[in-house]
Amino acid sequence: MPRAQWVRTQPQTLLASCVLVLDRQDRVLLLRYGPGNPSSGSWWLPGGMLDHGEDPWAAARREMLEETGIEIGPEPVLLGIGHRGDVLGTGPVLDCLFHAGTLTEGVRVRLSEEHDRHGLFSLDELDGLRLTARRATLTALHAAARERSVVYLREGLPL
């Protein structure tokens, strides 16, 4: 089979990058999707889909800046990779999940039009929130950040 034809037979998967950032009390920064978004009213990590040709770390840095106004460092710290079989009818998504360290005191979050609120939440406080994805995902990422390890997630659950 000619290579060009073979390439067309390969799986089509979207790529996304998300950023976990904590504060000094080990709370996770989450953003709430605003009205008009498919996930309106739910909370999740800063992040989004990669632009054409963009690498995952560059996307994570861009999304963090666009969605929070916070610039993160130049060195990537990979927390994990996740695979979701179908996201809102678009098909499979491969998530690259990064740790951006600890927020400095007094840092100000400047939200994009996509979000209407932000907050810092302990793992115990997640139970009262409507999350875009699984709580187990955040718990696994939080543990990986603390342990300086990497996690693989399938449908938001660590294997």
- List of residues 6+ apart from 150 with CB closer than 8 A: 78, 79, 80, 81, 144
Residue 138 in any domain: the answer is: yes
Per-residue pLDDT tens digits for 11-37 = 888 999 999 999 999 999 999 999 999
pLDDT at position 46 is: 98
Residue 134 in any domain: the answer is: yes
Structural domain containing residue 72:
14-158
pLDDT at position 93 is: 92
pLDDT at position 145 is: 96
Residue 6 in any domain: the answer is: no
From the number of C-beta atoms within 10 Å of its C-beta (0-12, 13-18, 19+), residue 37 rates as middle
Per-residue pLDDT tens digits for 91-128 = 899 999 999 999 988 899 999 999 999 999 999 999 98
pTM: 0.92
Q: Are 141 and 80 in contact (CB under 8 A)?
A: yes
Residue 94 in any domain: the answer is: yes
- pLDDT tier, 87 (very low <50, low <70, confident <90, very high otherwise): confident
> Could you tell me what percent of the chain has a pLDDT over 90?
82
Q: Supply the CATH number for residue 95's domain.
A: 3.90.79.10
